Structure 1
Amino acid sequence: MLEPATAADSRALHRLRRSLEDWLRAEGVDQWIPGEVTEAEVAAQIARGEWHVLRNGAGIDAALRFLRADREIWGQDETSARYVHGLMVDRAAAGRGLGEAVLRWAAQRSTAEGAERLRLDCGETNEALRAYYRSRGFTEVGRKDFDHGWFSVTLFEKRLR
């Protein structure tokens, strides 16, 4: 299923992110700001072991950042949780259940690591994505506003035990 991304994946991951940023913008969805993440940032995240990918024969169909802490969004929190960021499914692979498979992988890995909750966030105005996460067993538990230009986000978590 998912495997750790390698340094050689940084360009493909960055391209996938940019294509989804542009697609979201074209759809009128406030989720990601085009160009906010650089390829160098993706490479650094890969070097820290944060990115995991689902490959096809020609490239990457889906990916996510899997984190053990997320102070920027969730603050200083001692809850036994793991965090999903940057969940991406290539538009060419959409509709095949890959997002759900990636979330299931994240829940299984979180449980295996002893976490009690799996957490994520999404743009507050992205009602379609909010409904998607609710339908996958996540509960809205709060909202986070930012002073530095990011969109407000809805906080979600799923109890694993």
Structure 2
Amino acid sequence: MTSGAIEADAAITRLEQEARETSTAAGPSSAIALSFVDAIRDLLGHLSADPATVVRMWPSDLPEWVQLGLAAEFAAWCGGSSETCVHEPDVNRGDPAVSAARRPGALVCLGCAGHRDEGETRCDGCGRPDVDAVVTIVFGPLAFEVCVCDDCSIGGLLDGDIAILCAS
């Protein structure tokens, strides 16, 4: 097992323990939390066999433009206004989905994620054509890909890194 896989397993184990510990107090929402943990496990397994790093971050650690993009994407998906692939991943079922800052309002299931035509990639922060890293921010069942240049880097994340957002 590679170091990236070990880090991913440890991150998932910790999230699952936290969801189970709060299950008695949370009632029905604990089932949703555990389905999100399952979705995160699926996302991490699909995104990369060996991510450089899997870290936990607070939403406040993200630049404002990433926070707003991720929030808008998640809200559109929850509200049913996102364009999806034909498999229609559903946040209410905890289906994992992948979206990209460069294509707002469009998300796909894990099976279709590898078949997207990305076209030209630019830094999602400033628009420069020289992208130094593509990082993935995982929020519940949504993986949000962000292209960044060195000037717009996110909390020291490098190309291929994955950040799991903490809610509490």
TM-score computed with the length of structure 2 as normaliser: 0.31
More helix by share: 2
More strand by share: 1
